[in-house]
Amino acid sequence: MPSGIIIIDKPQDWTSMDVCARLRGVFHEKRVGHAGTLDPMATGVLPVFVGRATRAVQFAETGEKEYLAQLRLGLTTNTQDIWGETLETGDVPADGEARLRALLPRFTGEIDQVPPMYSAVKIGGKKLYELARKGVEVERKARKITIYSLELLPGQTPEGDFRLRVRCSQGTYIRTLCHDLGQALGCGGCMAGLQRTEACGFSLADAHPLDEVVNASDPAALLLPVDKLFRDRPALKLKTEGERKVRNGAALKTPKLTDGEYRLYGPDGAFLALSRAKKGVLTTVKSFYEV
């Protein structure tokens, strides 16, 4: 059965789950999941896990992500993007670009961000977007997020629009960042476009258009091995006895091994598990060998 990671350049107007549903048919495999949801209007890097590789999804949600966003000043909407209902319009300052550039440092680093009503965050067991569609707005607590870098990019855009490159932590809403920038400038703002350029350490250079995968004669050949997700961890190649113990769920005594996470491989080079060393004992965090 196919197993591995495929990086999709998600097309606009597709949900992340739509992409997974399409790939289940392509790979004839029910076990398909994605890491890091992209809204339907967004495009770009969507890591999709197929077969036994879905065991790695839980490790893919964290980490830095990078986006190219289009900020539209002078417009505030209920969804914090141009696809929502207009709530207010405002005049963009003549010196809007200079003021925006000066404002960016205030939104860089660890900041508080209130999740938007149109989001999948749950409060009282209800997803916020379900309440928002009924016209209900509830109080949301601000959450700590990190904006590692926030840059205003050059280039032609419609008047009142600006291009931003954002590198951020898990849980960051770029729509809300655009909204908050507009509020801080006093004219309102929302997101007019979004492309994710990096997630889970994979970039657009690693991504395949969905049509390419659907029409490939051998889609499985496009799959990356699941250990690519853990390439920042050191690799350990075990001998036959060590492999046997790992496959049986036993810990390994490794008194000289530095504490931390490791990729474990069998004598034949097959990826066995993500493991953690602590005080001279190596235990399995998650196994990936075929059973």
Give per-residue pLDDT as tens, 197-210: 999 999 999 999 99
39 belongs to the catalytic site? yes
pLDDT at 183: 96
Instruction: State the alpha helices, DSSP H only, in 204-274.
Output: 210-214, 240-247
Domain encompassing residue 47: 4-63+201-228
Asked whether residue 52 falls in the same domain as residue 70, the answer is no
Count of domains forming the chain: 3
Task: Read off the pLDDT band of 173 (50, 70, 90).
Answer: very high
For residue 194, give Cα distances in angstroms to 67, 176, 223, 232: 7, 12, 26, 28
Which long-range contacts link 244-248 to residues 24+ away (Cβ below 8 Å)? 246/272, 246/273, 246/275, 246/284, 246/287, 246/289, 247/272, 247/287, 247/289
- Does pLDDT of 128 surpass 80? no
pLDDT at 61: 79
Mean pLDDT of 192-200: 96
State which of 209, 228, 247 marks the end of a domain. 228
Mean pLDDT of 156-180: 92
pLDDT at 117: 75
Mean pLDDT of 246-251: 93
Mean pLDDT of 213-218: 97
- Does pLDDT of 151 surpass 90? yes
Give the predicted TM-score (pTM) of the model: 0.90
- Does pLDDT of 27 surpass 90? yes
State which of 199, 214, 242 marks the end of a domain. 199
Asked whether residue 190 falls in the same domain as residue 79, the answer is yes
pLDDT at 138: 77
Q: Of the listed 9, 13, 18, 39, which one is catalytic?
A: 39
pLDDT at 90: 94
- Rounded Cα distance between 144 and 171, Å, is 9
- Does pLDDT of 132 surpass 80? no
Q: What is the CATH number of the domain that holds 144?
A: 3.30.2350.10
Q: What is the mean pLDDT of the chain?
A: 93
Asked whether residue 190 falls in the same domain as residue 208, the answer is no
Percent of the chain with pLDDT over 90: 82
Asked whether residue 46 falls in the same domain as residue 83, the answer is no
Task: Read off the pLDDT band of 48 (50, 70, 90).
Answer: very high
Asked whether residue 89 falls in the same domain as residue 153, the answer is yes
Q: At what angle do helices 96-103 and 174-185 cross, to 10 degrees?
A: 120
When comparing pLDDT for 155 and 259, which is higher? 259
